Structure 1
């Protein structure tokens, strides 16, 4: 067994638990979109786990799910990756075998037509109604920190069917009462509030962190605790957000089955490139 190999009997990592739970939420025939995030934990949460989850869903129950990587590589052969690409037009991604490459717009799937069923994004701040900030920390006119910018987040949160917000860090500074800048719109005023803004489609579905998964009461527009990962606690989560949190009875994030782990480790990510086992 190589250094990065694991048997299905080895305890799953948090990355594997999250990946399996994401995969279970996708449906056959859907189209999923993820960009190419770089840099440590951000890349793991923003790109690698989404890719592994979509590929796992294809292997389990959704053979006709379509993966759009960076918007132009369709159903890439992730098993052939030796390293993750470090940009959306990196030679590694350009040369990655795939079913097709879309090099003109609009192609078979177009964002503005509403062809994307779900997508993945990230941010530095998420607030109590699911707004996401990727622009700045502090007053926009004189910010403490300037961030990467909107990077298609407005489209992700309004034109995609649903959005999975992947947060690589879970600290009080990340989960705030109100974001400093709204890059992506959540549920201010609930679904009715979105409708008043002219938004009749999409919005955040889950917010995924190393500690838990949040979802939303979309009617009233409030974030909820859906499940707590193994090794985390409710008190730990409560210490690391700055808003009121509602939950009925948050469950423990469901564990993968032996079959799911076997598929993930030996079919989806046999080289350990995606989920950090290498």
Structure 2
């Protein structure tokens, strides 16, 4: 994997997400690929972004990729080492909250970007029970926008969630407002095949673009609902510089990239 034509889908996903983080954003992220995306963004597109975690580490410098949000490495050279309350106060503050972008994942997503990370099947008699919301519902409810990571499969892109854990656009343009939620909502969904967005009027999911080498037919064939593809544009592959940042500066030990 030494050239910009030689990369993994995980690397493409991390770099695609990093490109979505703007300079000055306050990034609330969890374990795994979301950490890599936030770290890479500071070197690629957003040097003045601020990374923080639900465990209370705010403005982490992340010289070395942590294994989890509870890893002591998230606290290296932070501006504040607080607790859960400090992290969620930062997220929900009416001033800083306008700049907060949350990076999330889930077991299921629907056409409005609503997420399920609770159960598969009936809630009382599930086929699979997951760990649940954690802070995901709070993040989806209060931050200004969310970036969602998903594996691209019909069982994950479903017409109806088995359980609504975290709100996206709920049932459409006025869904969040009717529910009493502040402005916000999902901005994009990044999968191992493509990037999805949301129509500004209908708030329904659309195809923003396929990753290099992936056909629209393959993307649509692995979803449980149809999406508009008229606005789709090619997504450029990672550059040599972006890959070098991701591999050599963010995860040289391949703890997350593998």
- Number of paired residues? 254
Q: How does 1:1-278 map to 2 (within 5 A)?
A: 7-8=2-3, 11-36=6-31, 47=32, 49-81=33-65, 84-85=66-67, 87-89=68-70, 92-93=71-72, 97-104=76-83, 105-106=85-86, 110-114=90-94, 115-116=96-97, 117-167=100-150, 169-276=151-258
TM-score w.r.t. the length of structure 2 is 0.87
Q: Secondary structure at the match of 2:146?
A: strand
The RMSD of aligned alpha carbons is: 2.4
Q: Which runs of 5+ in 1 are unaligned?
A: 1-5, 37-46
Residue 120 of structure 1: how far off its partner (Å): 1.2
Kept in 2: contact 1:33–1:71 (CA 8 A): no
- Tell me, in whole angstroms, the C-alpha distance in 2 between the residues paired with 1:267 and 1:107: 26
- Tell me, in whole angstroms, the C-alpha distance in 2 between the residues paired with 1:192 and 1:163: 18
Q: Secondary structure at the match of 1:99?
A: coil
Residue 101 of structure 1: how far off its partner (Å): 4.5
- Tell me, in whole angstroms, the C-alpha distance in 1 between the residues paired with 2:25 and 2:34: 14
Kept in 2: contact 1:79–1:271 (CA 8 A): no
Q: Secondary structure at the match of 1:176?
A: coil
Residue 59 of structure 1: how far off its partner (Å): 1.8
Residue 147 of structure 1: how far off its partner (Å): 1.8
TM-score w.r.t. the length of structure 1 is 0.81
The superposition leaves residues 112-148 of structure 1 with CA deviations (integer Å, 9 ceiling, x where unpaired) of: 2143410111111101111111111122233222221
The superposition leaves residues 7-50 of structure 1 with CA deviations (integer Å, 9 ceiling, x where unpaired) of: 455622222222222222222211101123xxxxxxxxxx2x32
Higher relative contact order (CA 8 A, sep 6+): 1
Q: Secondary structure at the match of 1:55?
A: helix
Residue 202 of structure 1: how far off its partner (Å): 1.5
Q: Which runs of 5+ in 2 are unaligned?
A: none
Residue 95 of structure 1: how far off its partner (Å): 7.7
Residue 249 of structure 1: how far off its partner (Å): 4.2
- Tell me, in whole angstroms, the C-alpha distance in 1 between the residues paired with 2:148 and 2:132: 16
- Tell me, in whole angstroms, the C-alpha distance in 1 between the residues paired with 2:108 and 2:88: 33
- Tell me, in whole angstroms, the C-alpha distance in 2 between the residues paired with 1:127 and 1:113: 28
